[in-house]
Structures are given as C-alpha cells and as structure tokens.
Chain A
Amino acid sequence: MSEADKADCKASSVKRSTEKKGLSRRSLLKASAAVAGTAIGSDVVRGFPTIWAQEIKDIELRHVGVSYSVVKAIGDQAAKDLGFKVTMQNLDTSAAINRFISQPDSVDIADLEGWQAKLAAKRSVIQGIEVKKIKEFDNILPIFTKGEIDGHKIPRQGISPYEAMYIAKPNATDLHDGVTEWATFLPQVYNADSIGYRPDLVGHEVTEWKDLIDPKFKGKAAILDVPAIGIMDAALCFESAGLIKYGNKGNMTKQEIDFTCEKLIELKKAGQFRATWTTFDQSVQLMAAGEVVIQSMWSPAVAAVRVKEIPCVYAPVNVKNGKEGYRGWCNGMGLMKHLSGKKLDAAYEYLNWYLSGWQAGFVGRYGYYSPVPSTAKKFLTAAEWDFWYDGKPAPSVINDPYGVPMEKAGTKRDGGSFLDRVKNISCWNTLMDEAAYMNKRWNDFKVA
C-alpha cells in the first residue's frame, strides 16, 4: 500500500467517523448555537438540528494568510469533513496584516503570527476565542498555553506565542500576561528557523550563526529580506560573532538597530551577500542554482533543495554560552470580529477540526509542527513520527505530503528531535516598538 493510499484511507476513515459522530456533533452545535444565540439575543429561534446540516451548506469560511501556513489541501479536507465551504486565500505577511486591519470583513479566519495577533487585538478586528470551546485546548503544548515545556522556560525575546496568546475579556484590546479564558489566536503551525548550507562546499559542520558572515563565504551568502525578521537573523549572526550583546533581539533599542544596520551595510559593501531573499522559492532557487552556499533558511526549503539531489543541511544552531539558538515562529488562527451566529459556530468547528490531527499530519510531512502532537501522532505512520518528531533515523523511506519520496531510510533529521529544537529557540518573530525606525534603517541597507 502506497503512502498516498494510506493517506486516502485515513481521510476516508476520518470521514466515516465524522459521519458516525454526525448526530452528536449536530446536537452539540445546536447547543452552542443556542448559547451563542442567547448571547446575541436576537438569534434564539435559529438552530434546529435538522435544519443545521441544510443551513451550514451555505456557510463559507475564508481563511486568509501566508502560503506556508494557509494551504489549499488542508482547506479542501476541512470542507470535506465539515460539510461547509472553506476558501483558503494567500497573501504575503505584510499584505495579510494590512488586509486584516483595513478590510476586516473580507476575512473570517485570520492566520496570525504572535505579533500580528497583538496588532489585530489592538485594532479590535478580532474577537477572543473562548478557550472552553476548544476540545484539544488542554492537549496543546504548554509552550503556547503556559510559556514553558518540561520545566524549560520559553524565551520571550521577540513576541512569543504565549505572550500574544491571551486577552482578559473577549473584546479586550491589550494582551494579558498570564492564562485567561480568552485567546487571541489558536496556534496551528510553527517551527524554528535557522541556516541552510551546502555541506560539500562549506566544508565543516555549521552550528553557529557567525558562519553566515564569515568572509570565507564572501559573495556566496544570502540573508532573509523581510525587515522585521531579517534583522533578527542578522542580530543572531553578530551576537554569535561576539560583536554585540543585545538586550532583546526582538525589541532592539535605536542604538542596537543602528549598530546592526551599519554592520549589514559594511558587509554588503564588502560583497558578503550574493543576494537577499523574500520568498520560500527564492531561497530554494538560490541554493539549488549554486548562487549561495550558506543562507538563512526555512526547514522545508532545505528539504526542497535536497529533493533536487543537491546536498543541503539545516544547521542545528543550539543555544550555547548564551548565544545562538533558533528564531521561532508560530502561526495561529484568529476569529474576526464580524463572525456571529451560525458562522461563528462553524468557525469554532473549523478550529476544532484543525487541531484534530489531519492538518498536523499534513504539515508534519514537510517538517512543520503541530501544537497538539498527540493528535498528530494518530495521522503519521510510526516511521514518520520517528523521523519528524523524534529525530531518529528514518526506519523506511519518508514521503512528502503529496506522496513523493523525499528522504532515504536511515536519514536523520537535522537538528534532532522536536524537543531539542523547540527548547533551543532563543527568539520569536516580532514587530519591534521601534519598527518604523528599524524599517528606515533596513531600507538604508537595501539601497546602500
């Protein structure tokens, strides 16, 4: 039986089980619809179970966000399992946050990073997610819900998902430090970003960010050109090289921004960077075409280079001597403020579906993680689980989400197990308080 068949089989078994559970799900929805109805006041008459299935057919949820997080195949599966329409729409990070803020009614589920959740709450375009209605909430890793894992405190340089997770009341505009009943967003996918390199051309194992700015790789290095996070990659490099010690890489002072951008300009003038990249494809292209040998990179991009049979390693930049570490990111789903009544119920159904495992299995097969590994496990084969989550040598050939073989048996995932990685995240994607100034200085670097 091929992997694709297995996936099919799983999909249909999911469907069967949903069908079986259909009645109870409907009555549950009816109950929640009634609750929501009373809350709103005018909606009480709605929501008979028999009518429900008929009515939800016409519901359409628009889930909007970046392409690596909002994936059509996942939306299609959700629509199949849930019985209403799900449309996935992709925008780049900056276009997405602009749309959430300026046209909130054109979006139902906003795919937000931690810092975007903070902004969206501030602008009142999202409503709090009632934690009680999320079935798997207690199984979400404490990284997100409590800011720790196995007694290890998750660093809060930048905006950690935990920091952005809670608000005190459903319509609060300021984040709340500490656990509450209301979430700004529901984490759905995350990873730890690092450096990708060509082991054959670099010649030694890379475990430190400073290799990216080593003059040895002059004209063969590249860096990420999304100012808010590119500057953090640069900061990791400079800190690693011992040039500076930042108070908070995720929220630099003006002096720190100046130092970082001046240093970048100096490197650019010396010809260190072959290019900068903004999209996943560009980074794959740069590495695969031999333009660069080392660059800041995302895990699936490294995999995409390897599929072309070009050796490429995802550097394990574990924290050491208070330096290094991965730059973590996490995307979660936010409920837009305009959702109400049946559409809001459908949205909760959708969030619950998202954490129920199918999506976790899907993103797991290209190296991203689910916040609820316990459900992911059900949708991954034992071999996939060992390889992707446990960091063990692959017991058999590992396929990508679309069934294409991508790793030979015996390969080990770079960076080790899931826990090894997340515990070595040293900062999170962010928007700094001095974002406007940082952006201006980044433009200086670009035009230099």
Chain B
Amino acid sequence: MSRQSWVAWLYVTPLMLVLVPFFLIPILVVLVASVLETDGFGGLIPTFTLANYVGVLTSAQTFHLYAATLKFTALTWFFTLVIGFLVAYFLVFHVKNQLLAISLFLICTVPFWTSNIIRMISWIPLLGKEGLVNSALLGTGIIREPLEVLLYSSVAVVIAYVHQLTIFMVVPIFNSMARIDKRVVEAALDSGASRLDVMRLIIIPMSKSGIALGSIFVVSIVMGDFFVVKVMSGGGSASVVSAFYENVGVLQYPIAAASAVLLTVILIVVISLILRAVDIRREITQ
C-alpha cells in the first residue's frame, strides 16, 4: 500500500468508526429481517421471501401513509423555508451591527435549549378548545364557537413541526448568506437593479447550498418521525413510521423491516434529488 492511500484511510477512519457500527450494521440487520418470515411470536424463520415487500408495495395503505407523510413534509418544508429564509435574511442584511446579528442569531436558538417534546406539548394548552387562542378569539367576539381545527388536526401537526424545525433552516441559510460579499449587492443596486432583482438574481442563488442543507434536515426529520403526528393529530392521523412502529409492537418484525427499507430508499431518492439540484460541495468550497 502506498503511503498516500494509507494516509487517506487514516483520514476516513473516524467516520468509518461511526458509520459502520451505527449505520451500516443496523441497516444490514434490517435488510436481512425484511426477507425473513415471522412465526407470529417474535421469532424469525430463516428463509428467503419477498412476500413482505410485495405486501408493503401492493397495499393501498402504503400509498395513503406516504400521501399523509409527504403532505406533512411538504407543508413543513414550505413554512420552515419561508420563515427560515426571512429570519436569516433579516439577520444578515438588515442588522448592520455584526455583534447584534450574532446575538440575535443565538437568541433564535434559545427555544431549543429545552426538549422537542416539551416544545410540542406546550402547544396543546394553547390550541385546545378551551385553550388560550380560542379563549382570546371568543373573548374578542371574532368567533362564536371554539375552533376545533386548531388542535388534534393536521394544522396542529404542521405548527408543531414548523416550530421544531425552523432552526434547521435558519442555521445553514444564515451561514451561506453570511458568505455573500455585500459589495456584490451594492454593485447591483448601483447599476439599477431593484430589490426584487437582487433577491432573485443574487441572494437566492447564492444561498442555494444553505437552502438545500436545511431542506435535507427538515425532510429527513419529518419523514422519519411519528411522535409529533401521533400526539398533535390526537391519533387522528398516521405516518409511515407510526404504522411500522405499530407492527413492531405486535412483533411483526419482517413487515416492519420491509417498510423501513422502503422508507430508507425513498429518502435516499429525495435527498439525491436535492443534491442533484444543488451541488452542495461545490457551493460550500467556492
């Protein structure tokens, strides 16, 4: 082995030490489980069958579950992107004092000092039938009946996700916007470009890597989650993961494994589409 390749292997060792035991081996176990049969008591029969995949792929339920999950993903992605982008834009281009900008940026992270679950659950007393929002609206006479759609609904799920995940958009977008040379913007304005043109032709294209990174975080977290859906929809909606979690609950490991493999494949496709649209590596090292 040449010295050079030896050094290269040394460089990737830390990454391998994390990836192999915590990603590669578990996913192999799941892959193997997905082609086995179950004895119905949590035991796996060592055979080879594709029946689990056929079952998952030909079921209308899989389609409904993905439709529900993708709906939450798309809505969450859209709102976190709009809010995250605006917050980052404000911090980078409107707050002139850099120290202030960084302090404000840190303040954005304050809600994240507490757990996800607490942040989600604290919405419940706010949005309920007798919650703060409904009481306020009733009190001011804007509505006569409490709005039930606020809690235990898709609205509640999306609110909780947006609240939890906007920071994952803010951070990378802030990061990539901060690299934009302010003189480029000034030059554009001097040459008569409108604010909209600056946004469309300079800022958005140059924040692409941040947007892509944020999107990867948000999409993969929402698609892989079930707890928020379960609690905030009041059990009224299901997601891909909640369905196979239920399967694990009754020890139907192979079918759960097949669903998990399918979800992994779909996530890989989605993420590679994002990466294809934006060459993050080139954007970052630029």
Contact = CB atoms under 8 A, between A and B. Distances in A.
The finding on whether chains A and B are genuine partners in a shared complex, rather than unrelated, reads: yes
Interface of A: 93-94, 97-98, 101-102, 119, 122-123, 219, 222, 225, 227-228, 268, 273-278, 282, 285-286, 289-291, 431, 433, 435-436, 438-440, 442-444, 446-448
Nearest to A277: B235
Nearest to A101: B42
A278 B61 contact: no
A439 B242 CA distance: 12
Interface in B52-70: 59, 61, 64-65, 68
Given A94-B249, A439-B247, A439-B252, A446 B130 contact: no
B283 interface: no
Contacts of A274: 148, 152, 234
Nearest to B130: A290
Nearest to A435: B250
A119 B247 contact: no
A430 to B, nearest CB: 11
B236 A276 contact: yes
A447 B242 CA distance: 10
14 contacts: A123-B41, A123-B42, A227-B250, A290-B129, A436-B38, A436-B40, A440-B61, A442-B246, A443-B243, A443-B246, A446-B235, A446-B236, A446-B242, A448-B64
Given A94-B250, A435-B250, A436-B255, 15 more contacts: A93-B249, A97-B249, A222-B234, A227-B246, A277-B234, A286-B234, A290-B130, A436-B38, A439-B252, A440-B59, A444-B61, A444-B64, A446-B243, A447-B243, A448-B64
A447 B68 contact: yes
B43 interface: yes
B128 interface: yes
A443 B238 contact: yes
B237 interface: yes
B125 A446 contact: no
Contact of B128 (A222, A291, A431): A291
Interface in B213-264: 230-231, 234-238, 242-243, 245-252, 255
Contacts of B128: 289-291
Given A94-B250, A101-B251, A439-B250, A447 B41 contact: no
A444 B62 CA distance: 10
Given A123-B43, A443-B243, A436 B238 contact: no
A291 B146 CA distance: 11
Contacts of A98: 42, 248-249, 251
Contacts of B251: 97-98, 101, 119
Nearest to A219: B148
Contacts of B245: 94
B257 to A, nearest CB: 13
Given A219-B148, A436-B40, A444-B61, A273 B236 contact: yes
B235 A119 contact: no
B124 interface: yes
A35 B173 CA distance: 70
A447 B250 contact: no
A276 to B, nearest CB: 3
A177 B68 CA distance: 46
A275 B229 CA distance: 12
A83 to B, nearest CB: 36
Most chain A CB atoms below 10 A, which of B68, B236, B248: B236
A57 B135 CA distance: 57
B249 A227 contact: yes
Given A219-B148, A275-B152, A446 B237 contact: yes
A94 B61 contact: no
Nearest to A226: B249
Contacts of A446: 235-238, 242-243
Most chain A CB atoms below 10 A, which of B131, B242, B243: B243
A371 B154 CA distance: 44
Contacts of B41: 119, 122-123
Given A123-B43, A225-B235, A291 B129 contact: yes
Contacts of A268: 236
B31 to A, nearest CB: 17
A275 B235 contact: yes
Given A289-B125, A290-B129, A228 B238 contact: no
Interface in B96-122: none
A278 B130 contact: no
A440 B129 CA distance: 32
Nearest to A446: B238
Contacts of B249: 93-94, 97-98, 227, 439
B63 to A, nearest CB: 10
Contacts of A102: 42
Contacts of A442: 246
Nearest to B63: A447
A179 B164 CA distance: 55
Nearest to B68: A447
A277 B233 CA distance: 10
Contact of B237 (A97, A277, A447): A447
A161 B76 CA distance: 46
A98 B252 CA distance: 11
A97 B245 CA distance: 13
Contacts of B234: 222, 274-277, 286
Interface in B126-140: 128-131
Contacts of B130: 289-290
A278 B231 CA distance: 9
B39 to A, nearest CB: 9
A228 B105 CA distance: 47
Given A274-B152, A276-B234, A289-B130, A447 B64 contact: yes
B246 A439 contact: yes
Interface in B24-52: 38, 40-43
Nearest to A445: B238
B248 A94 contact: yes
Contacts of A285: 124
Nearest to A444: B61
Nearest to B231: A282
A245 B235 CA distance: 27
Contacts of A276: 234-236
Contacts of B131: 289
Given A274-B152, A435-B40, A228 B235 contact: no
Contacts of A438: 250
